[in-house]
Structure 1
Amino acid sequence: MEIKRWCLLVSGHVQGVYYRASTQARAVELGLTGYARNLPDGRVEVVAEGTEDKLAQLKTWCDDGPPAANVDSVNVSEQTPAGGFTGFSIRG
């Protein structure tokens, strides 16, 4: 199975609503590695590595996020897998 790396930039009301923690829980359920972090412009960045099927499932989840979130958009870009992640963490 080929490992891929996706960077998801999530826009909307996504900070202060447990978006990162909820994303972490979903990513762990899916067996993905990577991180989620708040960006200064109000977006959340999610970088995840895993199979394309599992990444697509995470992206579908990110389209809605946790109940308190109001997601406007999720922009996905594929990056070169770097490995080196141990689990899925929350940063900054």
Structure 2
Amino acid sequence: MADGRVQVVAEGSREGCEEFLDWLQGDDTPGHVDGVTEIWDTPRGGYDGFAIR
């Protein structure tokens, strides 16, 4: 984002998303993470891969 933050949109099982959040906040994360803000919403589908925009 313009202010240097990174927005991640992930969709999957609740368990899978929670594991992903744990990984983002863990020591194995590439780079440096100062904080994570979660926003849970209803899955919408439409994601069938990975993209960096």
Q: What TM-score range do you get, normalising by the shorter chain?
A: 0.7 to 0.9
Kindly indicate which of the two structures has a greater share of residues assigned to strand: 1
The separation in 1 between residues aligned to 2:13 and 2:39, in whole angstroms, is 15
Question: Could you say which residue in structure 2 is the equivalent of 1:47?
Answer: 9
Q: After the TM superposition, which parts of structure 1 deviate over 4 Å for at least 4 consecutive aligned residues?
A: none
Larger RCO of the pair (alpha carbons < 8 Å, separation 6+):
1
Unaligned runs of 5+ in 1: 1-38
Question: Could you say which residue in structure 2 is the equivalent of 1:77?
Answer: 39
Percent identity, please. 43
Matched AA of 1:41 = D
By how many angstroms is 1:80 displaced?
2.0
What's the RMSD between the two structures over aligned residues? 1.1
By how many angstroms is 1:70 displaced?
2.0
Matched AA of 2:42 = T
Question: Could you say which residue in structure 2 is the equivalent of 1:28?
Answer: none
Question: Could you say which residue in structure 1 is the equivalent of 2:23?
Answer: 61
The separation in 1 between residues aligned to 2:38 and 2:44, in whole angstroms, is 17
Question: Could you say which residue in structure 2 is the equivalent of 1:6?
Answer: none
TM-score by length of 1: 0.51
